[in-house]
Amino acid sequence: MKRLIFAAACAVSALGLAARADDVTETLQSAMSAYEEGDLQYALEELEYAKQLMLTMKTDALSGFLPPAPDGWTREINTEINASLGMMGGGVGAEAEYSGDNESFTLTILADNPMVNAMGAMIGNAAAIGAKIERVGREKFMVQDGTVQGLVDNRILVKAEGGEVEAMLTILEEIDYRELGRFGN
């Protein structure tokens, strides 16, 4: 079921990505033309815009890993998460709030962010700091103070916080971690 949901999300995402990819190509060609004409400022602006378009594409792809809401729950995707990542060293992120059964929590996925590396040491030494370890599939998650967090492929942080641990673990079980580990490669 996980693979079917992931494949469907990728197919829908691919339609949007193809249209954006054309925008990226056009923007890069515009930058090249501006460069060849000696308009360096416009060339730089076009390169920055192309970068923004590509980051949006990566964000959309990463958002495909956010599981759908279970029956009776809702999921609201935060489309503004990447605005704050620039202040934290870059990378891409996806985030959603899940609400249902009189509770809610936030699920965040951060990829290729320098702060994620620091989390790896903490998660790896979870037992030493008195945190509990939970397995979700083949992944290990640290559970401490109502927060569940794990590191996938030593570069992708998956973090759920603000809800009951069991409810968060249930949603975390829906993520295809093997595919998530291949994200961006």
> In this predicted model, what pLDDT tens digit does every residue of 43-83 receive, in sequence order?
999 998 998 888 888 888 889 999 999 999 999 998 777 65
pTM comes to 0.75
Distance of alpha carbon 67 from alpha carbon 180, whole angstroms = 12
Q: Which fold has domain 74-181?
A: Protein Transport Mog1p; Chain A (3.40.1000)
Flag the least confident range among 95-99, 113-117, 162-166: 113-117
Tell me the three state secondary structure of residue 148.
strand
pLDDT band at 20 (very low <50, low <70, confident <90, very high): low
pLDDT score of 12 more than 50: no
pLDDT at 174: 95
pLDDT surpassing 60 at residue 155 = yes
Q: What's the angle, vertex CA 20, arms to CA 37 and CA 86, rounded to 5? A: 85
Residue ranges, CATH 3.40.1000, the chain: 74-181
In angstroms, what CA-CA distances link 6 with 41, 66, 88, 174? 41, 9, 28, 10
3-class DSSP state of 87: helix
Contact 185, 152 (CB under 8 A): no
- Do 88 and 113 contact (CB within 8 A), yes or no? yes
Helix or strand or coil: residue 111?
Answer: strand
Summarize the confidence of residues 171-175 as an average pLDDT.
96
Average pLDDT of span 101-112: 91
